[in-house]
Structures are given as structure tokens and as C-alpha cells.
Amino acid sequence: MGVAAAGMLSAPLAQASPSDRADRPACTAEQIDAARAETQAKMDALFETYPELRDRAAEMKELPKEERKAQAEANLAENPELAAAVKDARSAKFELRKECSVRGAGK
């Protein structure tokens, strides 16, 4: 499991409008790779600490997107500590999106 599975377990951030993204500088490939690597490492550590997170992600993988999103939100609402840990683990990726004109950094 990796970052993709973690994406199933958190609510997506609101997408910036194209004009908002145009006002921001583009990030380098190195910045994108660093954010992805940091997120991956933190999510791998979370999967080790919280095996139920890995199990839920695997169970939800085959669900339709909307159902997966609803179940992920419910799971995280039940466990605020885990929700905070997931948010922290994914923070590098979201900061990159906020600072740069990168839509796909969250994948």
C-alpha cells in the first residue's frame, strides 16, 4: 500500500480554479518528487503503526469513488488521532499544491 491507498482515506482538498493556479509558480520535478517521497515514507510508517489503516484501504480499493470517499470520511471521523496522523503524513503534498501550479502532485 502506498500513497494511493492513503488518498482513499482522506477527503480531497478543494481544487483551485485554473486562474488561481496560473498565478503561482510552477514547481520543479525535484520538488514534486521530494513531496511525493516524503508523503510515501510517512504513509508507509502509518501503515506499520496502524495496520487497520492498511486493511481498510485494501477493503475500500474496489468501491466506487463516491462510496470510497464517504467511507473514508466516516472512518477518519471515528478516529481523530488517525485522521490527524494521515493529514500530517500528506501535508508535504498539499503544501506543494498550495504553493505551486501543480494539480497532479497529489497522486
Q: What is the mean pLDDT of residues 4-32?
A: 60
Q: Give 1-56 as a DSSP string.
A: --HHHHHTTSPPPPPPPHHHHHTSPPPPHHHHHHHHHHHHHHHHHHHHH-HHHHHH
Burial of 72 from C-beta contacts in 10 A (0-12 / 13-18 / 19+): buried
Residue-wise pLDDT for 22-54, tens only, equals: 566 778 889 989 999 999 999 999 999 989 888
Question: For position 100, what pLDDT does the model report?
Answer: 83
The rounded percent of the chain whose pLDDT value lies above 70 is: 71
pTM, two decimal places: 0.63
CA distance 77 to 75: 5
Residue-wise pLDDT for 45-86, tens only, equals: 999 998 988 898 899 999 999 999 999 999 889 999 999 999
- Closest CA relative to residue 23, chosen from 98, 95, 91: 98
Task: Give the amino acid at 50.
Answer: Y
- Closest CA relative to residue 1, chosen from 58, 45, 82: 58
For the chain, the domains span 27-99
